[in-house]
């Protein structure tokens, strides 16, 4: 998706996101944050959106969130304030293709339902790997394209509407698996139909 499409799409979604797509994606959000909680330390959530995952992180963590959409971030900041989420250090507007953090800044980098939205997913993966500490973890939750079956057919039919929907229905998994420093250590379907998948990657020490 182009940056301007992302901005307009999430401006439309922001007021109703929590009650619509937010509910559909709750299983993946819970799973990813549970894994992050077991790792501990500093967490970067790329594509924090309205902050739906922020209450699920342990209070002992140090969490930073970034998002391209100011409309989403406004709601995330309200959530942090109203729910007194003191473990959230910062929420910043940022392009995930150019993360404004030093190398090896975070123990865990989390990206949920983001990687099929960004204009250059390979660059985003490289940036997430860069800011992750050696031996650290990158946790992805996303929908990935199927190669066959009726759901694969449906994904292809919806593909032309990506800019309007705010995500790609036929995004291939191999586009996130090409970073040299990252090793895939877990690939788990999160629902019976496998609509969403959890990927855990470890950065070389």
Q: Are strands 62-67 and 42-46 parallel, antiparallel or unpaired?
A: parallel
What is the C-alpha to C-alpha distance for residues 6 and 112, in angstroms, rounded to an integer?
Answer: 16
What is the C-alpha to C-alpha distance for residues 45 and 47, in angstroms, rounded to an integer?
Answer: 6
Residue 191: strand, helix, or coil: coil
pLDDT at 7 over 60: no
Q: What is the mean pLDDT of residues 71-100?
A: 96
**Can you give the pTM of this predicted structure?**
0.81
What is the C-alpha to C-alpha distance for residues 68 and 96, in angstroms, rounded to an integer?
Answer: 7
Reported as a pLDDT band with limits 50, 70 and 90, residue 180 is: very high
Quick check: 46 and 110 in contact, CB under 8 A? yes
Q: Tell me whether residue 133 is exposed, middle or buried, using C-beta atoms within 10 angstroms of its C-beta: 0 to 12, 13 to 18, 19 or more.
A: middle
Q: For the chain, list the domains and their CATH numbers.
A: 1-201 (3.40.50.150)
Instruction: Please tell me the predicted confidence (pLDDT) of residue 161.
Output: 45
- 145-149, 170-174, 188-192, range with the lowest pLDDT: 145-149
Please state whether 51 falls in left (phi above 0), alpha (psi between -120 and 50) or beta. Answer: left
- Count of helices and strands (H, E) across the chain: 7, 7
What is the C-alpha to C-alpha distance for residues 179 and 24, in angstroms, rounded to an integer?
Answer: 29
Greater confidence (89 vs 1) lies with: 89
Q: What is the mean pLDDT of residues 125-151?
A: 85
What is the C-alpha to C-alpha distance for residues 76 and 106, in angstroms, rounded to an integer?
Answer: 21
pLDDT at 152 over 70: no
pLDDT in tens, 15-46: 555 545 655 677 889 999 999 999 999 999 99
Considering Cα of 77, then 82, then 85, then 89, what sign does the dihedral take?
positive
71 phi, psi to nearest 5 deg? -60, -40
What is the C-alpha to C-alpha distance for residues 76 and 65, in angstroms, rounded to an integer?
Answer: 9
Q: Which of 175, 60, 87, 86 is nearest to 123 (CA)?
A: 175
pLDDT at 154 over 70: no
Greater confidence (69 vs 147) lies with: 69
**Tokens 């996101």 identify what position?**
17
Instruction: Please tell me the predicted confidence (pLDDT) of residue 156.
Output: 53
Reported as a pLDDT band with limits 50, 70 and 90, residue 196 is: confident
pLDDT in tens, 47-74: 999 999 999 999 999 999 999 989 889 9
Instruction: Please tell me the predicted confidence (pLDDT) of residue 172.
Output: 84
């Amino acid at each position: 998706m182009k940056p301007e499409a992302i901005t307009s799409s999430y401006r439309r979604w922001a007021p109703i996101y929590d009650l619509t797509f937010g509910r559909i994606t709750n299983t993946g959000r819970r799973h990813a944050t549970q894994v992050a909680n077991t790792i501990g330390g500093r967490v970067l959530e790329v594509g924090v959106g309205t902050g739906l995952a922020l209450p699920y992180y342990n209070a002992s963590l140090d969490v930073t969130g970034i998002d391209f959409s100011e409309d989403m971030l406004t709601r995330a900041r309200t959530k942090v304030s109203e729910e007194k989420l003191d473990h959230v250090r910062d929420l910043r507007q940022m392009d995930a293709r150019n993360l404004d953090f030093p190398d090896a800044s975070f123990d865990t980098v989390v990206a949920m339902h983001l990687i099929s939205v960004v204009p250059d997913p390979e660059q985003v993966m490289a940036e997430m790997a860069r800011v992750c500490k050696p031996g650290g973890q990158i946790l992805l939750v996303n929908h990935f394209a199927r190669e066959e079956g009726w759901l694969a057919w449906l994904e292809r039919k919806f593909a032309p509407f990506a800019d309007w929907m705010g995500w790609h229905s036929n995004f291939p998994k191999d586009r996130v698996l090409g970073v040299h420093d990252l090793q895939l250590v877990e690939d788990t379907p999160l629902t019976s139909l496998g609509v969403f998948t959890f990927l855990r990657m470890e950065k070389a020490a």
